[in-house]
Structure formats: C-alpha cells, structure tokens
A and B are shown apart, each in its own frame.
Chain A
C-alpha cells in the first residue's frame, strides 16, 4: 500500500522561468501605446486623413506624368484658367496645367524634403544628444558649438546656407540638416541629463552596465514621447522653412513644383482665379495640421502615465 502512495506523487523540479513569473496582467508598452492611441476617434480620423494625403501625394505624381519643366498646353488658350470641373477637379492654371497634378507634385516635393531632412535631423540629433547628455567629456565641446550656432536665428541659418550651396533639392536638404540636428541634440541632452541621475540608473551604473546599454535600454525608451513630440514639431516646421525659402526665391529653382513656389507663382491670380491658390493651400494646410495633431496624440499615448 505504501508503494501505491509513492506512485501517486512525483518530485517537482525547480523551474526558473515559473519562479520569475509575476502574477499580474501582461503589460506590453507598444501594445498599450496603440490601444490608447486608437481609442480616440479624432486620432483615427486625422491619421486616416494624413495617410490618405501622404499616399496621394506620393502616388499621384507617378501616374499623372506631370512635369513642371514643360507646359504642353501653353499654346492652347482654351485650356487656361479653367474653373474646377468634373474633368479638372482643381481647375487649370495660367498655362493650361491641371491643378490636380500640380498640387500633388508640389506637395510631394515639399513632403519629400521635410521627410528626408527631418529623418536626418532626428536620427543625428537623438544619437548625438544621447551621447552628449551622458558623456561629461564631450559636454563642454558640444555646448560651445551649440552656444555659438544657436545664436543665429534658424531661418537665417538656412537662408545663409542656401545662399552658399546654391538652389536645388539636395542643397535644401543640406541647408536644413547641417545645423538642424543641433537643437534636437541639445533638447535630448537636457532630457538625458534629467533622467540619467535617477536611482534606477545609479543602481544600474553600480552594477557595471556599459554606457551603450545604459543609453539604449535605460534612457531612450523613457523618451519615446519626447521624441514623438520632436517629430510632430519638426515636420511641419521644415515644411514651413521650405515654403518660406521657395517663396522668397532662394529655395527651390523655378522648375521645381512646391507649395512655396505655387504661392509665389499663383498669388497674382488670387483675385481673378482664386482656385489656383485655394487648392494648394488647402492640401498643404490639411497635411501640416494632421501631422501636428496625429503627432500630439501619439506623444500623449506614448507617455506611460496615460496607460490604464
């Protein structure tokens, strides 16, 4: 009988995984971010609008075959200055170009510059800023550079650089990025300095965590919402810069379509043919506003304190 009892039991082995399990609801950071974000109807609306406009401006110019350097209808006066109609949704301009094509080509140009330049600025800014905030040896050097360059108003800086590099797409990207990362890096540096001396980091340092791991694992995840804030301010800001430079005639050359150029070129028709100004302005306004709002909502959602 005693043997039978022994058969009914077995020895339990020590399971490391089981012992580590915390009894509680599963928490995934990114899942919570998206859950919080998509809970809001306004967020879904603006995100859909943003995606639609962005996709449209990157796909439509590929299909339309519009080339701003040529004006195929220049000799057909009947195609000029047409009001919006079923055939030409946004009407036509003073040279018979379909405004629908012109607007999307211009939006694409402005967006491409803003995307490329902000990607460079933010990547470089975050990397340099994280190292800058963490390394005490680098701090005085970079601070000196920042103190000198930040004294020049940023729009002046871009104009100056455009003047030196000449006019063109890549020149403009260069003018926006060559010093554009500095402000972001400075911002990240301040954030890193605030977080770096908190207790959990002190403990981590005591345990001998290497700097690279400290920066990537301990500091950066803390700053997702800060970074999201930077992104949503950076892109409309760069679109603004592009518009100003092109409008003032020191940005993109005249053969490039862009919002700034469109306002510059079509402004003289604002009284007689308002549709030439209305549609470019509307599209660009919607894009920048939706960027800003989506970014703001995402930054809110990525702050862990807003999670349930």
Chain B
C-alpha cells in the first residue's frame, strides 16, 4: 500500500509538472506579446511619448519574463555608481559611452536599438522559452529565513528567530532578517497553524490586478478594507492606533516613514489589508460546498427512490429531468433558473447586488450549480442500483426470505454507494475551482470567473497559475478518491495484480 501511495504521488506530481510546463510553453510561444498591453490604460496614455512608450513596454516585458532589458541610463548608473556625475556625462550626445554600450551589449548577444526622440540606446534580449519554464519552477517555492533580506541601508540588522506575541496576544514565532516577520503563528482561521517558512510564488498578476502576487489575488480578501483599533507596545509605550493591516502578513520594508515608525518597532511595516469580503477561493468554496451537499442529499434520495420504483411515474419524471439537464446547454437552464428565481422568489440574479455579506446572494448560484449535480447523482445512483438489482446475490437474498427493505438498504445500496463515495473527494476539492459558467452568469467574484476573465485580459501569469492549481486539485482529488474507496470497500485493492494476459 505504502509503495503504491508513493508511486501515485510521484505520478501525480509528474503529471502536474508536465501539464503546467506545456501550458507555460504554449502561452509564451503562441500568444503575441503585444497582446498583454490590450487592457493597459497607462500605455495608451503614453502613446504620444514614443520614448516613454517604448521604455514602459520593454520594462513590462522584462517584468513578465519575456526579455532582458537594459537602457543606457541604467547601464551608466551600473558602471559609474547611482549618483555619479559621470552618469549625465555618459548620456550627452557624442559621448564615448554610446560606443561602449553598443559594443558591450552586442558582445553579449543583445539587440541594441535607438530611442526615437532622445536618441539614447537600449538593449534587449529574448529569454529562451526553456529557461522561462525552468524559472517558473525555480521560483515556485520560496524559502524564508534569517538570511533572506540584505538591505545596504540597514547592514547591522539583527538576525535570528524569537518568540513574540502578535497584536491579539497569541504567542508566535517571529524572525528578524527574513522577508516575513511572522514565521509561524496561530489564529482562528483554517488550518489554524500558519507558516511563512515555505511560501508559494506563482508570479505577479498583470494587467488585471496589476502588481499583486497571483496567489494574493485568489486567496486574499476582497471588497473594502476593515479598520480596527489596535493597542500594542511600540518603543516600550502602550500605543493605540487604527489600522486595516493584517499583522501576520508584515513584510520587510526598506524605507520607513513617520506613519510606520509610530506603529512598528522594526522594519517589518509592509502588510496586506484585512478585507470585508471573503477571497475568491472562499466564495467558490462556500457556493460549491453548499451545492454539493444539496445535490448529494437530494440527488441520492431521488435516485434511490427512482430505482426502487423503476418504470413507474416517479422514475419517469426523474429520468425526464436528467435528460433535460444533461442535454440542454448549461447556460440555457442556468439563465432560465435565474429568471425564475428572480421573478418568483424575488432573489437577486447578480451576486454583487447584495454582496457576499447577505445570504440571499448565494441562493441562486448555489441552486443553479446543484441543478446539474442533482441530475448526475440521481442518474448514477439509479444506474448502479438497477445494475445491482439484477445481480445473483440479490436474487439469492430474496429467495432466502429477506424482506424487500432489508435487501434494498443492507445489500443493494451498500454496493451501489461505493462508486458514489469514490467521486466525493473529487467533488469536494472540485468546488475550489469554482463553476465557470454559474459564476460568470451571476457575476460571482470567485475562482470560476477568474479563468475566463484572465483570458480576456491576457493575464498570462494568472492563466498559468490557475491551470497549475486546477490540475493539482483534480489530480489529488482523484487520488484521494481511490484511497478512500479502499477503506469503504475492503474488496478493492489498489495494487496491480498479475494478469494472465
């Protein structure tokens, strides 16, 4: 069993890696890089300043990992020092620096070009596709520790771990010299123990949610930030201030301002805000879990009753429902249901009308998702039950004089539920990936809506990260289902048997 589990984990990781490598490869090679600027407002404003336009474009490409880019000024600053007077000399027309720049970079394989207005030079080089893929993996897991931050303005920073209390007074392991202040802490949110020692990094979102790490976009709160009163010791004195910062997310900030020194003793002053509304992940999970519970409870009951009353009216109605749901385009029945819910029940047909704080916003998206779930659960459980009903052991049990209900609930149902159990982890974890069409239709700010909207925004980093996450989720869900089913049904063994042929 252990050997099998390790083999499966290895296979799962391998297939996640292959899928994401393929995705990165396809995205970077097939999408014209000009397209990433489609939604960029800033670039449109720069349209009549050719130099700034060019510089902005190349800098963005560099940020996104397409190219290496160096401008003449940057190179001069690098050779002579940041504030050296030689820098401005190097930029004067007719300076020797032009020739030096050209020869230095051409030797390194860069393409050297001239800015249209100022005539300054700039050099750029495409980063090969393969190394871009490798870079993505190399940056995927970030390790934090006391030797992480090296700030030239703060050379004598203490380095090391220490125990402290956070703003709510709970003990936590903090660190000086690392990127994040809090390394291990506890709070009331799942999974209760949190850590910054290993963090995932899937790149930075652009052009939508510009500059925010992709994972913060998905897992960070949404809506308005929450301000609250904090009383803590700053410089030995009790201080009270209002803030919306989540102290656990505090990061090293090289340059502190007055506001920061009033609130913090150390350089860890750069934190994320706490927001009113749950994250995209949270909203998708809520809607998904609720609809899963509904579709399991209703779908299984309906399917079991339909199997018991095979070929009678109830069964025919159930089958009619499953035919309609599985044949109609999902958009059509979701739209119909949204109309019905709005007209007859007075519920909002767009999520943002009442927002995530109001339960009424969740009703229609949840039920829309459950419509399909009920149909498929009912269809499958009915099929499994009907299959079992004709099995020899059932005939035997009947002939031995077992009552109808005993045969049904003790024998048929137990066997028919096994494939259902197998699919539960997939369904639970699948809720994280959200429901593309439901969330888009109801404008739910969840994960499902994120993928199509990143596609229309040409947000490559987000697309790659989401494909990675969705693939990982589904790979491990299937795996979990396989493991779970061995506990439910002792007859199933996962080890491959030696076959005769």
CA A240 to CA B331, docked complex, whole Å: 8
| Contact of A248 with B440 in the complex, beta carbons under 8 Å | yes
| Contact of A164 with B451 in the complex, beta carbons under 8 Å | no
**Chain A positions within 8 Å of B331 at CB level:** 240, 243-244, 247, 260, 263
**Chain B positions within 8 Å of A288 at CB level:** 327-329
CA A36 to CA B453, docked complex, whole Å: 49
Give the interface centre of B328, B437, B451, B501 by most chain A CB atoms within 10 Å.
Answer: B328
CA A57 to CA B339, docked complex, whole Å: 27
From residue B36, how far is it (CB to closest CB) to chain A in Å?
A: 12
Q: Does A281 contact B (CB under 8 A)?
A: yes
Q: Which of B292-350 contact A (CB under 8 A)?
A: 323-324, 326-332, 335-336, 339
**Chain A positions within 8 Å of B335 at CB level:** 263, 267, 277, 281
Residue-wise interface mask of A (267-290) relative to B, using a CB-CB cutoff of 8 A (1 in contact, 0 not): 100100000010001001100110
**Chain A positions within 8 Å of B23 at CB level:** 160
* A side interface size, CB within 8 A: 40
| Contact of A236 with B463 in the complex, beta carbons under 8 Å | no
Residue-wise interface mask of A (235-263) relative to B, using a CB-CB cutoff of 8 A (1 in contact, 0 not): 01001100110011110000000011001
| Contact of A152 with B455 in the complex, beta carbons under 8 Å | no
| Contact of A155 with B332 in the complex, beta carbons under 8 Å | no
Q: Which of B13-51 contact A (CB under 8 A)?
A: 15-16, 18-19, 23, 26-27, 30-31
Q: Does A292 contact B (CB under 8 A)?
A: yes
The chain A residue with its CB closest to the CB of B29 is A164
**Chain A positions within 8 Å of B478 at CB level:** 151
Q: Does A153 contact B (CB under 8 A)?
A: yes
| Contact of A156 with B470 in the complex, beta carbons under 8 Å | yes
Q: Does A126 contact B (CB under 8 A)?
A: no
Contact of B327 among A197, A236, A244 (CB under 8 A): A236
| Contact of A293 with B323 in the complex, beta carbons under 8 Å | yes
| Contact of B440 with A247 in the complex, beta carbons under 8 Å | yes
| Contact of A244 with B330 in the complex, beta carbons under 8 Å | yes
Q: Does B11 contact A (CB under 8 A)?
A: yes
| Contact of B336 with A281 in the complex, beta carbons under 8 Å | yes
Q: Which of B447-500 contact A (CB under 8 A)?
A: 451-452, 455-456, 463, 467, 470-471, 474-475, 478
Residue-wise interface mask of B (392-418) relative to A, using a CB-CB cutoff of 8 A (1 in contact, 0 not): 000000000000000000000000000
The chain B residue with its CB closest to the CB of A274 is B339
The chain A residue with its CB closest to the CB of B454 is A163
From residue B29, how far is it (CB to closest CB) to chain A in Å?
A: 9
The chain B residue with its CB closest to the CB of A240 is B329
Q: Does B428 contact A (CB under 8 A)?
A: no
**Chain B positions within 8 Å of A233 at CB level:** 326
**Chain A positions within 8 Å of B18 at CB level:** 148
CA A163 to CA B31, docked complex, whole Å: 8
A159-B451, A292-B327 known; A151-B436 Cβ under 8 A: no
Give the interface centre of B18, B27, B329 by most chain A CB atoms within 10 Å.
Answer: B329
**Chain B positions within 8 Å of A155 at CB level:** 436
| Contact of B15 with A148 in the complex, beta carbons under 8 Å | yes
Q: Does A90 contact B (CB under 8 A)?
A: no
**Chain B positions within 8 Å of A260 at CB level:** 329, 331
Q: Does B433 contact A (CB under 8 A)?
A: yes
A155-B436, A164-B30 known; A250-B452 Cβ under 8 A: yes
Residue-wise interface mask of A (147-169) relative to B, using a CB-CB cutoff of 8 A (1 in contact, 0 not): 11101110110011011110000
**Chain B positions within 8 Å of A149 at CB level:** 19
**Chain A positions within 8 Å of B330 at CB level:** 240, 243-244
| Contact of B463 with A156 in the complex, beta carbons under 8 Å | no
| Contact of B19 with A148 in the complex, beta carbons under 8 Å | yes
A164-B27, A197-B501, A244-B436 known; A152-B328 Cβ under 8 A: no
Residue-wise interface mask of B (229-260) relative to A, using a CB-CB cutoff of 8 A (1 in contact, 0 not): 00000000000000000000000000000000
**Chain A positions within 8 Å of B456 at CB level:** 248-250
* B side interface size, CB within 8 A: 38
Q: Does A118 contact B (CB under 8 A)?
A: no
**Chain B positions within 8 Å of A197 at CB level:** 501
**Chain B positions within 8 Å of A156 at CB level:** 436, 451, 467, 470
CA A291 to CA B328, docked complex, whole Å: 10
CA A288 to CA B323, docked complex, whole Å: 10
A148-B19, A244-B437 known; A250-B455 Cβ under 8 A: yes
| Contact of B452 with A160 in the complex, beta carbons under 8 Å | no
| Contact of B475 with A151 in the complex, beta carbons under 8 Å | yes
**Chain A positions within 8 Å of B326 at CB level:** 233, 236, 292
The chain A residue with its CB closest to the CB of B472 is A151
From residue B302, how far is it (CB to closest CB) to chain A in Å?
A: 19
Q: Does A296 contact B (CB under 8 A)?
A: yes
**Chain A positions within 8 Å of B440 at CB level:** 247-248
A148-B15, A153-B474, A296-B323 known; A164-B329 Cβ under 8 A: no
| Contact of A151 with B329 in the complex, beta carbons under 8 Å | no
Give the interface centre of A155, A165, A236 by most chain B CB atoms within 10 Å.
Answer: A155
CA A188 to CA B54, docked complex, whole Å: 54
The chain A residue with its CB closest to the CB of B319 is A296
CA A243 to CA B324, docked complex, whole Å: 16
From residue A283, how far is it (CB to closest CB) to chain B in Å?
A: 11
Q: Which of A47-63 contact B (CB under 8 A)?
A: none
| Contact of A248 with B26 in the complex, beta carbons under 8 Å | no
| Contact of B332 with A164 in the complex, beta carbons under 8 Å | no
**Chain B positions within 8 Å of A285 at CB level:** 328-329, 332
CA A291 to CA B323, docked complex, whole Å: 11
CA A160 to CA B25, docked complex, whole Å: 12
**Chain A positions within 8 Å of B329 at CB level:** 236, 239-240, 243-244, 259-260, 284-285, 288
Contact of A147 among B15, B436, B451 (CB under 8 A): B15
**Chain B positions within 8 Å of A162 at CB level:** 455
Q: Which of A73-104 contact B (CB under 8 A)?
A: none
| Contact of B31 with A164 in the complex, beta carbons under 8 Å | yes
From residue A265, how far is it (CB to closest CB) to chain B in Å?
A: 13
A244-B331, A250-B452 known; A164-B26 Cβ under 8 A: yes
CA A19 to CA B474, docked complex, whole Å: 61
**Chain B positions within 8 Å of A153 at CB level:** 433, 470, 474
From residue B301, how far is it (CB to closest CB) to chain A in Å?
A: 24
**Chain B positions within 8 Å of A291 at CB level:** 327
**Chain A positions within 8 Å of B467 at CB level:** 152, 156, 160
| Contact of A270 with B470 in the complex, beta carbons under 8 Å | no
From residue B328, how far is it (CB to closest CB) to chain A in Å?
A: 6
Closest 10 CB pairs of A and B: A292-B327, A243-B329, A248-B452, A164-B30, A148-B15, A240-B329, A236-B327, A288-B327, A163-B455, A289-B327
* Interchain Cβ contacts under 8 Å between A and B, 13 examples: A148-B18, A148-B19, A151-B474, A156-B436, A164-B27, A164-B31, A250-B455, A259-B329, A260-B329, A284-B332, A285-B332, A289-B323, A289-B324
Given contacts A250-B455, A250-B456, 7 further A-B contacts (CB under 8 A): A147-B15, A148-B18, A151-B474, A153-B470, A156-B467, A248-B437, A249-B456
